Amino acid sequence: MDRLNQGLRKVPIWLLYLLGDLYPGWLLYLGLTGGLGPDPVKALEHALGEAALQLLILGLAVTPLRRFLGLNLLKFRRSVGVLAFTYVALHLLVWLLLDVQILSQVFNDIIKRPYITIGMVGFALMLPLALTSNNLSLRRLGAARWRRLHLLTYPAVLLAALHFVMLVKGFQIEPLIYLSVVLFLLLCRIRVVG
């Protein structure tokens, strides 16, 4: 594990941002060239939503991975969070601009469709985290307040996983697996904190 950690320490953060930024571009390219199937807007929405959830889970897993396996991904945590937020924002934009498009329908959906309401609340919780993810905010807020603010990650990830469970029709195992992983990681946190 020490070797792996040493190797990871050499990976520059910009590489993560570069790869993370290339992915939506790649999806857009596929969408424009017919590579996303018959409904590219839905496929784009799904791919971005799923990648966002996976990154949120990875961010939540950083501390347990270090505590229980000795794997140190701490250096990448902030960039993983920023990329997760970027994907959620793009997921929201695809929904707004390419899927629903009509403003009155947007408000109607937010109020009347519980999975959209839950997704919106999750997004709203992530906003202050994204806005304070820079060093200046960290200095201004002070480490203790910054850390306290970042506790918002926990409800945000939980709501994101619930959003997925609620939007699927009928019984599907994939969203339940995501929700179980999130619940497991949150329980790990309670144990760690306590």
Is the Cβ of residue 98 or residue 141 nearer to ligand HEM in the bound state?
98
Specify whether the CB–CB gap between 128 and 149 falls below 8 A: yes
Report the SS3 class of residue 58.
Answer: helix
Amino acid of residue 71: L
Instruction: Indicate whether 90 belongs to the interface with ligand HEM (CB under 6 A).
Output: no
Instruction: Indicate whether 20 belongs to the interface with ligand HEM (CB under 6 A).
Output: no
Is the Cβ of residue 70 or residue 128 nearer to ligand HEM in the bound state?
128
Q: Tokens 């996303």 sit at which residue? A: 36
Token duo for residue 61: 């897993």
Report the SS3 class of residue 36.
Answer: coil
Is the Cβ of residue 46 or residue 189 nearer to ligand HEM in the bound state?
46
Residue 70 CB, nearest approach to ligand HEM (Å)? 28
Specify whether the CB–CB gap between 87 and 24 falls below 8 A: yes
Cα–Cα distance for residue pair 82/133, rounded to 1 Å: 7
Residues 144-183, mask of contacts with ligand HEM (x by CB under 6 A)? ------------x--xx--xx--x----------------
Residue nearest to ligand HEM (CB): 49
Instruction: Indicate whether 46 belongs to the interface with ligand HEM (CB under 6 A).
Output: yes
Is the Cβ of residue 92 or residue 141 nearer to ligand HEM in the bound state?
92
Is the Cβ of residue 107 or residue 184 nearer to ligand HEM in the bound state?
107
Contact residues: ligand HEM, CB under 6 A: 45-46, 49-50, 52-53, 56, 88, 91-92, 95, 116, 119-120, 122-123, 156, 159-160, 163-164, 167
